[in-house]
Amino acid sequence: MARILVTEQLAERGLTVLREAGHDVVERLGLSADELLDVVPGMAALIIRSATKVTADVLEAGRDLVVVGRAGIGLDNVDVAAATRRGVMVVNAPQSNILSAAEHTMALLLAQARNVPQAHSALKAGKWERSKWEGVELHGKTLGIIGLGRIGALVAQRALAFGMRLVAFDPYVAVDRARQMGIELVDLDELVRHADFITIHVAKSPETVGLVNADLLAHAKPTLRIVNAARGGIVDEQALADAVRDGRIAGAAIDVFAEEPTTSSPLFGLDAVVVTPHLGASTTEAQDKAGITIAEQVLLALAGDFVPFAVNVAAAEASETVRPFLPLAERLGAAFACLQEGIPTTLDIAYEGAIADYDVRILTLSVLKGLFSAHVDEPVSYVNAPQLAAERGLEVRESKTSTAHDYVNLVSLRGGDNAIAGTLSGVRAEPRIVMVDDHDVDVPFARNLLFVRNDDSPGMVGVVGHALGDAGINIGQMALGRAAGTASTALMALTLDQPLPAEALARLVDTPGILDVRGVDLG
């Protein structure tokens, strides 16, 4: 029997599953941060929803914790890295609320199109205002979908039934896959220029915070209406409020906010804006599914069995020889995603050297985990990564050879117009990048990386260094490499102490002799 702490409301069926398995379920709802630190010692499992913050301090106090279960999808409130370091499994219920979230998106879409909440409030206040609340039809309108994961795909299916034309922005979905769904893939600016409605279904990450901002909204038609039931902070609330107030767009329907819970937002005073208090997953069915799913995952973890929805445990599946390469593979996948700025039709993963004599399938999963982690609307695990690749039309091809020319072991990725390779170096087995787009380099991984391809001519290093200096960016390390078999182009690989501002990046791109610039954020 294990002690399981439940700090937020869980469906009764989930609690029953845990108790019938013989465990001691301790319900302590509404704990403060300090109270949680006092209660968590001695607990083998901690089950939460979105309000409880599972910090490094909580994990330190919970020395007996085997598993943390999130009854839902998002893991913004769990320090997954700290849990992994302590050997605590983190599990979620990734499919529990996708139908509810898609249906709530459609509810907001219809409410915004037909002004349902505004007309309801006016009529109950004694005002018959038919002409004031005239709406628009969905039929024949263009819906722009930002993010074609599971929820985005469900919204697309439902929008097609309303006779809408669908365009989408998702660089991690293949064109053929989108075409099969009746969707035209476009870039983000084009989507905003043509859309009458926009729905958002992407994960919250450094790349997507503030994705819908004043600059993007400047491209919109005055008829545009925006729906966000994904994550708060993806839409700049002040910029959206200004655009609605000034009549530059027609309205918005918002379910999520940068700070939650909240009763104050610049959007709240606008008649053309519909708001709900993060109700996307708030259905009886979704909560029931989440409760049962997380209970089942926690039971598996406590029993030491395979846990399908574990988001941070793979080492048990890897041999002692392969295990040190897991971080390298995941970082290569993430860096490749930034280089490619989308998804190729095929991804070739090659393993060279001694490592090729072992089962490396877990490394391929690590590559995919890194590739998709910052770009889909759900946490990516070693279990769902292959499914995400299939859904997005990515063919993964794995090859192995025990012969390595320059390194004892080498892992390389190649797809589209890009390639990257890495190895483990030195007695500390430090992950390093040793090739980018067929240019030999040698730099460690860092949160902020910059790859600059340029004409191989005198003075180019100074040009780049001067540009970074003007932007106040300090260079950590730098490596230079020439393209194989030619001296016409060279590549600089740099680690930076700070991210490169967009303006500085744009100036570099426009500099004579600079052929291509790629900034990589591995945060």
In this structure, what CATH number is given to the domain that contains residue 170?
A: 3.40.50.720
User: What share of the chain has pLDDT > 70, as a percent?
Assistant: 97
Phi first, then psi, for residue 152 (nearest 5°) are -60, -40
Specify the pLDDT at position 318. 62
pLDDT band at 379 (very low <50, low <70, confident <90, very high): low
pLDDT at 410 over 50: yes
Over range 74-93, report the average pLDDT.
86
Q: Name the amino acid, one letter, at 366.
A: S
Q: Are residues 295 and 320 in the same domain?
A: no
Specify the pLDDT at position 426. 84
Specify the pLDDT at position 428. 84
Nearest Cα to 385, choosing from 396, 372, 374, 394?
Answer: 372
pLDDT band at 378 (very low <50, low <70, confident <90, very high): low
pLDDT at 314 over 80: no
Mean pLDDT of the chain: 91
Question: Is residue 452 one of the residues assigned to a domain?
Answer: yes
End-to-end CA distance of the chain: 39
Per residue in 438-483, pLDDT (tens digit) is: 899 999 999 999 999 988 888 889 989 888 888 889 999 999 988 7
Highest mean pLDDT: which of 480-484, 498-502, 519-523? 498-502
| Residue 290 near residue 11 (C-beta atoms within 8 A) | yes
Q: Are residues 102 and 83 in the same domain?
A: no
Tokens of 410: 């080498």
Tokens of 313: 């445990």
Least confident of 162-176, 234-248, 311-325: 311-325
Over range 85-89, report the average pLDDT.
82
pLDDT higher for 139 or 345? 139
pLDDT at 317 over 60: no
pLDDT higher for 162 or 462? 162
Q: Are residues 295 and 333 in the same domain?
A: no
The reply to whether the predicted model has a pTM over 0.75 is: no
Q: Are residues 362 and 467 in the same domain?
A: yes
Tokens of 302: 């406590």
Domain count across the chain: 3
Q: Are residues 331 and 476 in the same domain?
A: yes
24: how many CB neighbours lie within 10 A of its CB?
A: 13
Specify the pLDDT at position 310. 85
Q: Are residues 110 and 173 in the same domain?
A: yes
For 233, 447, 474, 507, the CA distances from 470, given in Å and listed in that order, are 30, 21, 10, 11
Q: Any idea which residues carry the catalytic annotation?
A: 231, 260, 278
Question: Is residue 308 one of the residues assigned to a domain?
Answer: no
Question: Is residue 310 one of the residues assigned to a domain?
Answer: no
pLDDT band at 315 (very low <50, low <70, confident <90, very high): very low
- Can you give the residue range of the structural domain that contains 11? 3-96+284-303
